[in-house]
Amino acid sequence: MPTQKKTSAALAGLASGAAQVLAEQPLDTIKIRLQSRALVFDAFAGPASVAASALRNEGAGAFFRGLAPRLLTYAPVKSALFAQYDALSQHLPAPLAGAVAGGCNTVLSCPVDGLKSRLQVLRATTPDARWPAVARDMYARGAFYRGWRPLVCRDVPGYGLLFGVYDYGRNTTLPAPLVGAAAGVAFYSATLPIDRVKTVMMTQDIRRPAFASAAACARDILRRDGVAGFYRASAPTLLRTACGQAVALSVYELLR
C-alpha cells in the first residue's frame, strides 16, 4: 500500500496562517478597537456597541481594516512558527518547544501585529489610512517594534500553553476543531492582561506616544480602570481565538 506523503511544517503553517486570518479578522478588529487607548473607542461599553458603531459609520469594510497586509505577511510568519515548533519538538516537550518557538517568532510577528493593529484603530475617514502610508510612517518613526517586550511576555507562555494543549489533544479522539479552539482559549486565558498592554503600546499615537515602557502603560491601565481594565475585550478575544485556532490547527493537522 502506498504511503501518504506529509506536507512540510512550513507549507502547512503557511496555509494555516492564511486560513486563520480569514476566520478571525472581524472579531480581531473589534478586539483591538476595544483594547486600544483611542478615545473614540474607549467610550464604548462593549463589543456590541463597537460593532454597531463601525457598521453604521464606516460600513462592513471597517471589520476588515488591515486584512490585506496581514494576509500577505501573517501566513509566512505562521509558517516560520510551525517550522520552528516542528524542529524543536523533536528534542523538547511540546510546551517548551512552543514557548521557545513563540518567543523567537516575535522578531517576525511584531511588525506585522503592529501594522495590523494600527490600521484597525483608524477610521475610513482618516487621512493616509491606507496600509502603505501607515507602514512608511511606522518605518520613518521606528515604530515597528513598539510593543515588542509585552508581545514576547505574551507569546512565550501563550504558545507554550497552545502547543501543549494541541499536542495533548491531537493524541485523543477529540475532533481537530475542538482541540484548536481549546488551544487558542488556553493561550489567551493566561495572557489577557499582557495582551491589553501590548495592544495599547502598539496603537498609541505614533508621533507622541503616551508610554515609554510597558510598565508605565500597565500602571496607567490599573490607575484608570483597575484590574478589570486588563480584561477589557476578553469576550471577543476568546471568541476570536477559538474560531481562529480551530480553523488554523485543523488546516495544519489536515495537511500534515
What is the arithmetic mean of pLDDT over 62-67? 89
Q: Which three cell numbers stand for residue 24?
A: 478571525
Query: Across the chain, how many H-helices and E-strands are there?
Result: 10, 0
Predicted confidence at residue 45, as pLDDT, reads: 66
What is the arithmetic mean of pLDDT over 238-252? 96
- What percent of the chain is modeled with pLDDT above 90? 72
Q: 3 lies in a domain? A: no
Could you tell me if 95 and 163 are in contact, meaning their C-beta atoms sit under 8 angstroms apart? yes
Mean residue pLDDT across the chain: 91
Place of cell 460593532: 51
With a cut of 50, say whether residue 3 has pLDDT above it. Answer: no
With a cut of 50, say whether residue 71 has pLDDT above it. Answer: yes
End-to-end CA, the chain: 19
With a cut of 80, say whether residue 37 has pLDDT above it. Answer: no
Task: Please indicate whether residue 37 or residue 165 has the higher confidence score (pLDDT).
Answer: 165
Q: 36 lies in a domain? A: yes
- Number of folded domains in the chain? 1
Predicted confidence at residue 150, as pLDDT, reads: 98
Half-sphere exposure (CA, 13 Å, Cβ side) for 116? Answer: 26
What is the arithmetic mean of pLDDT over 224-251? 94
Place of cell 510551525: 82
Give me the phi and psi of 2, to 5 degrees please. -70, 145
Predicted confidence at residue 83, as pLDDT, reads: 94
Predicted confidence at residue 5, as pLDDT, reads: 57
Q: 29 lies in a domain? A: yes
Task: Please indicate whether residue 39 or residue 45 has the higher confidence score (pLDDT).
Answer: 45
DSSP string computed for 56-109: HHH-GGGGGTTHHHHHHHHHHHHHHHHHHHHHHTTTS-HHHHHHHHHHHHHHHH
Cα 12 to Cα 193, 220, 237: the distances in Å are 31, 41, 25
Q: 176 lies in a domain? A: yes
pLDDT band (50, 70, 90) for residue 2:
very low
Q: 238 lies in a domain? A: yes
Predicted confidence at residue 1, as pLDDT, reads: 41
With a cut of 60, say whether residue 67 has pLDDT above it. Answer: yes
Predicted confidence at residue 126, as pLDDT, reads: 65
Q: 81 lies in a domain? A: yes
Q: 4 lies in a domain? A: no
- For 19, residues 6+ apart whose C-beta sits below 8 A from its C-beta are 247, 248, 251
With a cut of 70, say whether residue 43 has pLDDT above it. Answer: no
With a cut of 90, say whether residue 27 has pLDDT above it. Answer: yes
- What percent of the chain is modeled with pLDDT above 70? 93
With a cut of 90, say whether residue 78 has pLDDT above it. Answer: yes
Give me the phi and psi of 5, to 5 degrees please. -80, 130
To which H or E segment does residue 49 belong? helix 47-58
User: Each residue of 173-184: pLDDT tens digit?
Assistant: 999 999 999 999
Place of cell 457598521: 55
What distance in Å separates the CA atoms of residue 166 and residue 181, rounded to the nearest whole number?
A: 9
Q: 2 lies in a domain? A: no
User: Each residue of 111-141: pLDDT tens digit?
Assistant: 999 999 999 988 755 656 788 999 999 999 9
Predicted confidence at residue 125, as pLDDT, reads: 53
pLDDT band (50, 70, 90) for residue 4:
low
- CATH number of the domain at 189, please: 1.50.40.10
Query: Domain range for residue 19?
Result: 9-255
Predicted confidence at residue 230, as pLDDT, reads: 95
